[in-house]
Amino acid sequence: MIHRDYKRYRGPFGLSLALHIALILLFAVRFDFVKPVEQPPQPEIIQAIAVDELQIERGRQAKRDEEQARRERLAEERRAREEAERRKQAEAAEAERQAELEAQRKAEAEERERLEQAKRLADQKRKADASRQAELEAKRKAEEQALRKAEAEAKKRQEEDRRRAEEEAKRKAEAKQKAEAKRKAELEAKQTAEAEAKRKAEAEAKRKAELEARQKAEAEAKRKAEQEARQKAEAEAKRKAELEAKRKAEQEARQKAEAEAKRKAELEAKHKAEQEARQKAEAEAKRKAELEAKRKAEQEAKQKAEAKRKAAEAEAKRKAQEEARRKAELVAALEEEQAQQSARAAEKAAQSAAEAWLRNKIKPKVERSWLRPPSAKSGLSCIIQVRLLPGGEVAEVHVVSSSGDAMFDRSAEAAVRKASPLPWPPDQKVAEQLRSFKFTFKPE
């Protein structure tokens, strides 16, 4: 501090000294050039003040002591105010805890009254539900009896309708078979007549063609015989060739006609066989379809009746199960809510007791075990995390929010370890709350 003050006053002091030296030199120069008879001018006198650094330092030390005394006085007043505030807060906390306990007792009494009321209402509702269930059961039985009667009547009507439908279908099938047989006979007669007419027409055309060909051949032969005797042999050969060709053509035509007739007969026979097979298949398919429709109708009616009965039974069973589940859930919900309220109240009471125990038992012992470091300033604080073993032994301690002063933080951790074992509450629930906790270390 003295060195810094010396540096601060060294500038003005040097300036004053340089000014004195300059004046002395000026006086010396002027003395050489001044006439002997003239009086030398009187120099201006500048007073230089020598600064006593020790005196300055003493004054500063006195100011510092005065400031320190003022600070200590203010700190003492602040500690007194904080102590009064803490006492006031403790009294307010105690009053609040008493009020909370009283409110908790009232809430518990109201909750018990509410639960009893809910239980009475549940009993009343259970009786009403039992009565309503009996009415529903009687109604269900009456509905089932009416349903069975209606089903019997419907089954009887269905059986009568089915019998009538079968008779009508049988009558229609017989009429259809008769009409089909008649149509088939007419078709066969028509086809036979057409085939006979076609055969006769083909035979007549063949006869006419042969006659015309013969007449032409004879006329050509006569003309050739009259025209050229010398070509007779050739004409005869030609005629024979033409006759042979004609014979072959006629034979081929006859064979073709026979083959065509045979093919048509085969196609007709095949067509008849296919038609008969198709009719038989259609009749068999129709009979099977009718039998299948009848079986399906009976099966569907039976399935519908069975499904309706099962649905009614399932609905009744579901309603009974739903009612039982709802009642069980209501009772379980009431019991769970009561247990949760009791647990919350116990946990809240344990937390309040743990906070009071930390504030009134643990923190004072830690503060008594604390040794202030030389560099620690007033008003420092830090947040410490502590983990305890059963009985109060400190298992772990570390600063989670620093004060900014490492020495202060380490002294706070050392104070917690030195105070081990910390006061251990007799209540197990309160002790569980204090197995791991944080608190603000702020000694006064």
Q: Please report the pLDDT score of residue 15 as a whole number.
A: 72
Q: Please report the pLDDT score of residue 31 as a whole number.
A: 47
Residue 238 exposed, middle or buried by CB count within 10 Å (0-12, 13-18, 19+): middle
72 pLDDT above the threshold of 70: yes
pLDDT digit string, tens, across residues 153-202: 878 888 888 888 788 888 888 888 888 888 888 888 788 878 887 888 88
pLDDT digit string, tens, across residues 293-307: 889 988 988 899 899
CA gap 212, 84 in Å, rounded: 158
Around Cβ 432, how many Cβ atoms within 10 Å?
14
Best mean pLDDT range from 138-152, 176-190, 395-409: 395-409
- Structural domain boundaries in the chain: 370-441
- Predicted structure pTM score: 0.29
Around Cβ 325, how many Cβ atoms within 10 Å?
10
> Tell me: domain 370-441, CATH 3.50.50.60, correct?
no
Output helix, strand, coil percentages for the chain, rounded to the nearest 5: 80, 5, 15
**DSSP letter, residue 370:** -
